[in-house]
Structure formats: C-alpha cells, structure tokens
C-alpha cells in the first residue's frame, strides 16, 4: 500500500476496472448472477489470453509469451 494521498498503487487496477466496465457492463444486461459470473470469467480469460495489445507489438499475451520463449 502507498502512503496516504498517494494513489499510484491504485492506478493499474482502476485502469483494468475501467476496461471491464466499458467492454462488458456497458453493453450487456445480466438477468442472473450465474450469467454475470460466466460472462466475467469469459472476459477475464479473453483479457489475459486473447486480446490484441499495441504494447505487445500487436500480439495477444499468449502469442507474445510464446514468441519470447522461442527466441
């Protein structure tokens, strides 16, 4: 934890929650908690394994890791 009034440790998770809200919550209506849980697990899996990132040279995280291991 950072000191009082120092928000640097929160920036990463707040950025991730911003992506989550924009990409999942704003476009979907959930009727049950099971629906929400499944959608959340699918989103986390997609975010960690399949999304294309410009910081990773246009590759998904899995492709980037495989490329780094092959080199």
* pLDDT value of position 25: 87
Please state, in angstroms and rounded to a whole number, the distance separating the CA atoms of residues 39 and 57.
27
- State the residue range of the domain holding 19: 8-70
Specify the length of the chain in residues.
71
Per-residue pLDDT of the chain (71 residues), as tens digits, is 556 666 667 788 888 899 899 989 888 899 999 999 999 999 999 988 888 888 888 888 888 889 888 87
Cα 45 from chain centre: 8
* pLDDT value of position 2: 57
| 58 DSSP assignment | T
Q: Give the CB-side neighbour count of residue 67, counting CA atoms within 13 A.
A: 9
Count: domains in the chain: 1
Q: pTM higher than 0.75, yes or no?
A: no
Domain for residue 48, yes or no?
Answer: yes
* pLDDT value of position 36: 94
Domain for residue 2, yes or no?
Answer: no
* pLDDT value of position 53: 83
List, in sequence order, the alpha helices (H) in 3-60: 11-23, 33-49
Please state, in angstroms and rounded to a whole number, the distance separating the CA atoms of residues 35 and 39.
6
Domain for residue 44, yes or no?
Answer: yes
Domain for residue 31, yes or no?
Answer: yes
């Amino acid at each position: 934890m950072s000191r009082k009034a120092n928000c640097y440790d929160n920036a990463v998770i707040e950025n991730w929650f911003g992506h989550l809200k924009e990409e999942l919550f704003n476009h979907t209506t959930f009727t049950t908690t099971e629906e929400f849980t499944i959608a959340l697990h699918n989103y986390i899996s997609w975010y960690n394994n399949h999304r294309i990132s410009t910081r990773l040279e246009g590759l998904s995280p899995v492709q980037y890791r495989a490329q780094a291991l092959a080199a």
